[in-house]
Chain A
Amino acid sequence: MSTSHLLVLQVVIPLVVAPLCILIRKQALVWYVVLAVSWGTLFSAYRLLMQVLGHGEIIYFLGGWAAPWGIEYRLDVLNAFVLMIVASIGAIVMTYAKCSIIKEIAEDRVYLFYTAYLLNLTGLYGVVVTGDVFNMFVFIEISSLSSYAMISLGRERQALMAAYRYLILGTIGATFFLIGIGFLYAMTGTLNIADLGVRIPDLENTRTVITALAFLTVGISLKFALFPLHGWLPNAYTYAPSVVSAFLASTTTKVFIYVLLRILFSIFGTTFVFDIITLDRIFLASALLAIFSGSITAIYQTNVKRMLAWSSIAQIGYMILGVSLVSVTGLLAGIIHLFNHAIIKAALFMCMGCIFYRFNTVQLSDLKGVGRYMPWTMAAFILAGLSLIGVPLTVGFISKWYLIMAAIERDWWWLAFAIVAGSLLAVVYIWRVVEVTCFQSVTTKDHPEANQPHMKEAPLSMLIPLWILVIANIYFGINTELTVDVARQSAEWLFGIK
C-alpha cells in the first residue's frame, strides 16, 4: 500500500467506525475500538509526516479525478504537522478518556460520546488534508457539529446552553465561510486551493475578492475564537466534560488557525493580505487585546476550567500575534505555538479531569490542599503551568523565544515587552491555583471527610497519559530539532521561500 492511500484512510477510517460504535454500544468494547482507531491514525499520521519530510508533498486525487476538476488531498509540511498534532492529542486523550468519561457523562450516553468523537476526528483530519475549499467547509461543519454534541454531554444543564450558543455562532461563522467560498468561485470558477492561489493574484483588486477575504477571515476567526469573536468559548470549555475540553482546546482551535493560514497565505498571498489590505494590523490589535483581556479575565475566575478557557483565548492571541508579525520568524513562532499550546492545554485540562474524578468539583475554593492527596496530578499541573508561562526548558519558552525574536527583528520593543508582560499575567493565574491547592495549610474544616478512601491520587490510566504530555512538554522544550525545523519549513513554504 502506498503512503498516499494513508492520506485518505486517515479520514475514512474514523468515519466508517463512527456508526459502528452505535451498533456495538457496549462501553468497554467501544473504548477499545476508538482507542485502536486513534492510535492507528496517529501511526499513519506519523508515517505521512516522515514521508513529507523525506520526499516532499503527497497528492491524492479522490476517485482518480485530477485537480482542479476533482477533489484533491494534498499534504505538505504544514498540514502534515497539524495532522500530527491532532492525531497525537487524539490518541493520548482517548487513552485517558476511559475513566474520566464514566465519571462525567451519563452512562447510557457514553457510546454516543465516542461516536461524536470519531466524527469530530474525521472532520478535523479532513479539514487538514483536503486541498479543496468547499470540501474544507463540509469537514469544518462535520467537526463543529460533533463538537456541539460532545459539549452538550456535560453533566450540568449549563452545558446545553453552552452548546447551543456555540452552535449558533459556529453556524454563522461557517455560513460566512461559505459566502466567501461563493465569491471566490464566482470570480475564478475553481474551488481547488492551489488553483485559487494561481488565479486570485490577477483579480486582486476587485471588490468581490476583497469581500471574499473579509467573509472567509471573519468566518474562520469565529470558529477559533479570535478576540472579540470569542464569546462562545468560555462556557463551552467550562461545562463540557474535561476530556472534551482537553481535546477541543488543543485540536479544534489549532486546525481552524491552520485554515486561516491556508486562506491567507495559499489562496490570497502575502502581498495582497498584508501589503494591500494590511490585515496584519487588525490581527495585531486583536491578538494583543486577546492576550491581555484573556489573561486578566482568567485571573478573576473561580472555576479552574473557566480560567483555562480564558487562558486559551489569550494563547490564541499569541498564535495570531505570530502571524501578524509578517515574518518567517513570527510565523514560525505562531506555528510552533500551535503544537506547544496543544500539549500544554491538553495536560492542564486533563489535570482538571483527574481532580474532578476524585473531588467532583473544579471550583478553586473547594480545592484547598488537593496537592496533598493528588501529588502527581498537581505536579503535572505545575509543570504544564510553568510551560504555559514560558519558563525555560519547557515548550512554552520556545514559543515565547521566537515570538520575542520576531518582535525584535521588527524593532518593536514595546511588543517584546508586552509579550513578557503577558507571561507575567499567566504566572498570576497559574500560581493562584498552585497556591491554594499545594501551599495553603488545610484545616479539617475544609475537608470534613478527610482521609476517606476516595481522596487519593487519580487512577493510573489517567495519570500515565497526563504524564506523557507533561514529559513531552519538557522534551520538546529541550530538544526542539523536530518541531522548530518543521515549523520553519512550513513558515518558509507559506512565504514562498524555498
Chain B
Amino acid sequence: MVVWDKMMTEELLLLSVIVLPGAGAVFIALAGERHRNLREAITLSTAVLLFIAVLLLYQGIDNDTHLVVEIIEPVAGLSLALYVEPLGLLFGLICSFLWIITSIYSIGYMRANQEQNQTRFYVCFALAIAASMGVAFSANMFSLYVFYEIITLITYPLVTHSGTEEAIRAGREYLGYLLGTSICLLLLAIIWTWSITGTLDFTEGGVFVDSDLPAGLLTTLYVLYVLGVGKAALMPFHRWLPAAMVAPTPVSALLHAVAVVKAGVFTVVKLTVYLFGLDELVRTGAADWLFYLAGATILIASLIALKQDNLKARLAYSTVSQLSYVIMAAAILTPVSILAAAIHIAVHAFGKITLFFAAGSIYVTTHKTEVSQLDGIGRRMPWTMAAFAIGSLSMIGVPPTAGFLSKWYLLQGTYAVESWVAISVVVISTLLNAAYFLPIVYVAFFREDKEEKETHGEAPFTIVLALTLTAVGTILLFVLPGRLLSLVQLIKV
C-alpha cells in the first residue's frame, strides 16, 4: 500500500507542472479544429490549473526541504531531474500566469485573423510552456539543456506558422542560431564541465569550488556557456529574434515575454549563480568580458531600434536591449544585482507582453504594421494605446510602472561596485528607450489622423481584456512589490 504523505504530494505537484501542459496538449490535439470551443476551453483551463500548481509550489517554498524529483537517468549520474528553487519559481510563476493571458489573447487574435492550423498552434504552445516549466524547475544543467532544446524545436512550427517563403526563411534563421549555439557551444561546455567535476547539479556556490580551476579555463567555459545560450540574444547571436517577427503576434509574445528569451536569460542567471557561483567568478574575473558585451548590446540594439519603422521590429530590438540588462546585471556579480536581474525578468515580461499585445491589436483591427501609420490611432483605440503607453513607460523605467523597480536595484548594484561604465550605460539607454517609445505614444494620441475615412474601433474584446490585464499587472508590480521582492530575496547567492 502506498502511504500518501506530504512528500509525495509535493513530488506529484512538481511533476504536474510539466505533465499538466503536456496532457493539455494531447487533449487540445484530440479536440481539434472541429470542436474549437472545447479546444480553447481546454487551453484556458490547463493554463489556470498550471498557474494554481505553481502557486502551490510557491506556498511550500518556505519550509527548507530540498525536494528533488528524478525522472530518468540516461547516463549514470546524469539525470533528468526537477527541484524547486526561488529563481526558477519566479520564472515559473511569470510563465504560467502569462500563459493564461496569452491564451485569452490568442483566442481573439487567431479567430479574428482567421489563421490556419490553429490546432497545431495551440498544441505547440502548450508544449512550449511545458518545456519552459522544465527549464524553470531543472535541478541540473543537463535537464535544463534538454528542456532548452525542446523549447527551440517545439516553437519552430510556431515561428513558421504561416508557411510562407519568408516565414520558412525566418524559421531557418531561428533554428540555425539557436541550435547552432546550443549544440556547438553549450553542449560542449556541459560535457566539459561534466568531465571536470563529474556533476552538473545546480548547487549553492557553484560546482567548481573544489576543483580550483585556473582563471583562463574558467573564463573559456563561461564564454562557451553564455554564448551557447542563443536564446539570450546577446550580440552577435541576436539576429534570429527580429527575423522571427514574421510569426503571429501571440507567438511573438511567447518568444519575447513568456518563454523563449526569458528561458535564455534565466539560463544565464541560473548558471552564473548556481553553476559557477558568484565568488568563483569574482575571484577569477571570468565574467568581466560579459559585462562589456552586455553593455554594448544594450546600446547598439537601442540605436538600431531607433531606426526601425516596423513596430514589431522596433519592439524586437528593444527586447534584445532589455535582455542584456538582465545579463549585465548578472555579470556585475553582486547579490543586489542578481536581485535586479531576477526582478527585471519579471518586469520586462509584463511590459513587453503588453507592448506586443498592443501591436497585435493594432494589426488585427487596422492591418497597420508601421510606426509611421499610427497617427491619431489612440483616439480610436484608447485602451490599446493606453496599455501601450504603460508598457513603454515600464521599458523606460518611469514610476509608477514596474520598470522603475528593476532599474532601481540595478543602479544599486552598480553603485556597490562603483562601475561608472554600467551607470552610464543605464543612463544612456534610458534616454534611448524614451527616444524610440515616446514618439509612438505621442503621435498616437496627439497627432491628427490624416485619412479620416477609416472607421475601425477598438480590437475584439478578448484582446483588449488581455492587454488591459497585463498593463494593470505592470502597475501592480510597482505598487505592491512585496511578494516579488520577498521571493527573489530567497535566492541564495
Contact = CB atoms under 8 A, between A and B. Distances in A.
Whether A and B are associated in the same complex: the answer reads: yes
B168 A404 contact: no
B171 A391 contact: no
Given A391-B149, A392-B145, A480-B74, A404 B191 contact: yes
A417 B188 CA distance: 7
A402 to B, nearest CB: 8
A413 to B, nearest CB: 8
B75 A386 contact: no
Interface string A57-91: 00000000000000000000000000000000000
B302 interface: no
Contacts of B162: 441
Interface in A409-435: 409, 416-417, 420-421, 423-424, 427, 431, 435
A333 B316 CA distance: 43
A421 B184 contact: yes
Interface stretch (B82-90, B175-183, B202-210, B452-460): B175-183
A300 interface: no
Contacts of B473: none
Contacts of A397: 74
Given A404-B191, A427-B179, A435-B171, A441 B164 contact: yes
Nearest to A431: B175
A398 B75 contact: yes
Contacts of B180: 424, 427
Contacts of B194: 405
Given A401-B75, A423-B183, A392 B192 contact: no
A405 B74 contact: no
Interface string A435-446: 100111100000
A432 B184 CA distance: 19
Contacts of B191: 401, 404-405, 408, 416
B171 A439 contact: yes
B160 interface: yes
B187 interface: yes
B192 A408 contact: yes
Nearest to B220: A413
Contacts of B195: 405, 408-409
Interface in B130-167: 142, 145-146, 149, 153, 156-157, 160, 162-164
A289 interface: no
Contacts of A405: 191, 194-195
Contacts of B164: 441
Contacts of A393: 74, 80, 146
Interface residues of A, number: 31
Of the candidates A420, A423, A424, A484, the one having the most CB atoms from chain B within 10 angstroms of its own CB is A420
Contacts of A421: 184
Interface string A473-498: 00001111000100000000000000
Nearest to B195: A408
B379 interface: no
B183 A424 contact: yes
B7 interface: no
B72 interface: yes
Contacts of A401: 75, 191
Say which size band chain B's interface belongs to: 20 to 34
B172 interface: yes
Contacts of B74: 392-393, 397-398, 477-480
Given A392-B146, A393-B74, A478-B72, A439 B160 contact: yes
Contacts of A439: 156-157, 160, 163, 168, 171
Contact of B163 (A386, A409, A441): A441
Given A392-B142, A427-B175, A404 B188 contact: yes
Contacts of A420: 183-184, 187-188
Nearest to B71: A478
A423 B142 CA distance: 18
Contacts of A390: 183
Interface in A431-473: 431, 435, 438-441
A393 B80 CA distance: 9
B10 to A, nearest CB: 24
Given A401-B191, A420-B188, A441-B162, A392 B149 contact: yes
B164 to A, nearest CB: 6
Nearest to B192: A408
Nearest to A394: B74
Contacts of B179: 424, 427
Interface in A343-390: 386, 389-390
Contacts of A480: 74-75
A497 to B, nearest CB: 18
A416 B188 contact: yes
Of the candidates A391, A392, A424, A478, the one having the most CB atoms from chain B within 10 angstroms of its own CB is A392
A325 to B, nearest CB: 14
A392 B80 CA distance: 10
A262 B350 CA distance: 63
A478 B75 CA distance: 8
Given A424-B179, A478-B74, A417 B160 contact: no
Nearest to A478: B72
B22 to A, nearest CB: 14
Contacts of B168: 435, 439-440
A368 B175 CA distance: 20
A398 B164 CA distance: 36
Nearest to A426: B183
Contacts of B171: 435, 439
19 contacts: A389-B183, A391-B149, A391-B153, A392-B149, A404-B191, A405-B194, A405-B195, A408-B195, A416-B188, A416-B192, A417-B188, A420-B183, A420-B187, A427-B175, A427-B179, A435-B168, A440-B168, A441-B162, A480-B74
Interface of B: 72, 74-75, 80, 142, 145-146, 149, 153, 156-157, 160, 162-164, 168, 171-172, 175, 179-180, 183-184, 187-188, 191-192, 194-195
Closest 8 CB pairs of A and B: A441-B163, A392-B146, A408-B195, A439-B160, A478-B72, A404-B191, A420-B184, A420-B183
Given A398-B75, A427-B183, A435-B160, 19 more contacts: A386-B153, A390-B183, A391-B149, A392-B74, A392-B142, A392-B145, A393-B74, A404-B191, A405-B191, A405-B194, A408-B191, A408-B192, A409-B195, A416-B192, A439-B171, A477-B74, A479-B74, A480-B74, A484-B75
